A and B are shown apart, each in its own frame.
Chain A
Amino acid sequence: MIDLLNIGLVALILGLAVWAIVAREDFAAVVGFIAYGLLLTLAWVQLHGIDVALTEAAIGGGLTGVLLIGAVGRLRGSAAAVKVERSSTPVRWLAAGVSATVSGALVICVLAFPDPAPTLAHHVADNIADTGVGNPITAVLLVFRSMDTLLEAIVLLFALLGVWSLAADQSWGGRPGPQPQSSDPNGILAYAARVLPPLGIIVGTYIFWIGADYPGGKFQGATILAAMWLLVMMAGLTDAPPISRTWLRVALVAGPLVFIAIGFAGVLTADAFLGYPHGLAKPLIVAIELALLPSLTLVLALLLLGAPQRGMRL
C-alpha cells in the first residue's frame, strides 16, 4: 500500500517537474513549481525528514514561489526581449546532455551506496545528551557542525549584497520594490494583512522555539516571520525600509556577529572556536538562535523585495 503511494508520489513529482519546464504560460509554470515543492514536502515526510519537510514547505513552496511570481511580473513588460535571448539549438542540446549526465551520475552514486550506508548518526546519538537539546538536527546544526551554520548565515548576507548590487546608481540606498499603488485600506488584502500576521508571528515564534527538541528551528521560524512582513508590505499597510537605514544594517549583521563572538569566546573557555563550555551549551545555543532569528527574517524578506528601485527621498 505504502509502496503504491510512494510510486504515485514520485510519478507526480516527475510529471510536475516536466510540466514546470514545458509550460507555455509563465504563471502556470510557477504554479507547477509550487506544486512540485509541495509534493517534495510529502516525499520528505515519507522519508522521515520532518525538519527538511518543514523547510521545503516554507522555502520551496512559499518563498521561492513568490520570488518566481515577482520575477514573472517584472518580465511581463519585456516579453519581446526575453524571446530574443533564447540560446541556439546546439547549445540547448549540449545543456540537455550535461544535465542528463549529471543526473545519471547521481542516480548511479545513490544506487551504489553500501547497505547500510555509512553514517555518523550513532555518534550524534551517543553525544547528544551533553548538548542539552533533544532534536538531533538542531544538535548537528548548532553544536557538532556549527561552523557550517555560521558560514551559511554569512553567505546569506553576501547573497543580499549581490541582490542589492543590481540597483541603479541613483537608487542606491533607497527603498526596494516599486512605489506601492494606493490600495484600498478597507479591501480584502488589507483585512487579511491585519488578521494573518499576528497568527503568523505566534506560529513562527512557536516553530522557532520548539526547534530545540522537535522539528523546527530558527530558519523555518524566520521564513514564516518574513512571509508575514512581506504580506503586510504587499497590502500597502507599510512600506519597505530604505536599505541605507542604520537600524536595518545593524540588525542584519547582529546575528552573525553574536555567533562569531560566541565562537571566539569558545576559544578562551573551551579550547576550540565555537566550542561550548560544559553545562553552558543549551543557553549558548538559545542565545545564538535568538540573535540569528531577526537577522534571518530581515535577510529573507529583503532578498524577496529585491534591489532598491526608488531613490532615498521617496
Chain B
Amino acid sequence: MAEFLLMAAGFVLAMVALGLVRILRGPSTADSMMAVQLLGTGGIAALLLLGAATGEDAVVDVALTLALLAAFASFAFVKAASDTSGQDAAAERDA
C-alpha cells in the first residue's frame, strides 16, 4: 500500500510539473494565476499521498494550511494583476 501511495504521489507531482512547464511558458498573466491554482490542488494531493505513505498523520494539517494559503495567494495574485492592468489602462487613457 505504501509503495502504491508513493507512486501515486510521484505521479501527481509529475503531472503538476508538466502543467507548470506549459503554464509558465505561456505569455499571459492569466497563465501564471492558473499555475498557482494548479500548485495548490496538485500540491495538496501529493502532500496527502506522501503523508499517508510515510505514516505521518500530521501532514493533514500541513495540507489544510496549504489549502487556505494557496487560496489566499491566488486571490492576491488576481487582485494585484487586475490592479496593475487597471493602472496601465488608466495611464494609457491619461497619456
Q: Which A residues have a C-beta under 8 Å from some C-beta of B?
A: 1-2, 4-5, 8-9, 12, 16, 19, 23, 25, 27-28, 30-32, 34-35, 38, 41-42, 45-46, 48, 50, 53-54, 57-58, 61-63, 65-66, 69-70, 72-73, 76-77, 181, 189, 192, 196, 199-200, 203, 207, 210, 214-216, 220, 223-224, 227-228, 230-231, 234-235
- Pick 16 A–B contacts, CB within 8 A, sort by A: A31-B77, A35-B39, A38-B43, A42-B13, A50-B61, A66-B76, A69-B77, A77-B87, A203-B65, A207-B61, A215-B58, A215-B62, A216-B58, A231-B75, A234-B79, A235-B75
Does B15 interact with chain A (Cβ within 8 Å)?
no
B24 to A28, Cβ gap below 8 A?
yes
Q: How does the 8 Å CB contact mask read for B19-55 relative to A, with 1 for contact and 0 for none?
A: 0100110010101100110010001001100110010
Contact among B32, B56, B76 for A25, CB-based, below 8 A:
B32
A8 to B14, Cβ gap below 8 A?
yes
Tell me the bound Cα distance from A65 to B39 in angstroms.
13
Contact among B54, B75, B77 for A27, CB-based, below 8 A:
B77
Tell me the bound Cα distance from A72 to B84 in angstroms.
9
Chain A neighbourhood of B51, CB < 8 A = 45
Tell me the bound Cα distance from A62 to B3 in angstroms.
30
Instruction: Report B44-95 residues with CB < 8 Å from chain A CB.
Output: 46-47, 50-51, 54, 56, 58-59, 61-62, 64-66, 68-73, 75-81, 83-84, 86-88
B61 to A215, Cβ gap below 8 A?
yes
A1 with B80, Cβ < 8 A, contacts A42-B46, A66-B72 known: no
Contact among A23, A53, A223 for B62, CB-based, below 8 A:
A53
Q: Classify chain B: how many residues form its interface, as a range.
A: 35 or more
Q: Specify the chain A residue showing the minimal Cβ separation from B77.
A: A69
Q: Specify the chain A residue showing the minimal Cβ separation from B31.
A: A28
Nearest CB of chain B from residue A237's CB, rounded to whole Å = 13
B76 to A70, Cβ gap below 8 A?
yes
Tell me the bound Cα distance from A311 to B7 in angstroms.
56
Chain A neighbourhood of B35, CB < 8 A = 28, 31, 35
A73 with B80, Cβ < 8 A, contacts A35-B20, A215-B61 known: yes
Tell me the bound Cα distance from A41 to B71 in angstroms.
17
Tell me the bound Cα distance from A235 to B73 in angstroms.
13
Chain A neighbourhood of B7, CB < 8 A = 1
Nearest CB of chain A from residue B54's CB, rounded to whole Å = 7
B62 to A224, Cβ gap below 8 A?
no
A2 to B24, Cβ gap below 8 A?
no
Nearest CB of chain A from residue B28's CB, rounded to whole Å = 9
Chain A neighbourhood of B72, CB < 8 A = 62, 66, 196, 227-228, 230-231
Tell me the bound Cα distance from A1 to B9 in angstroms.
11
A214 with B75, Cβ < 8 A, contacts A2-B6, A31-B24, A196-B68 known: no
Nearest CB of chain B from residue A300's CB, rounded to whole Å = 12
Tell me the bound Cα distance from A4 to B11 in angstroms.
12
A66 to B47, Cβ gap below 8 A?
no
Contact among A28, A48, A234 for B56, CB-based, below 8 A:
A48
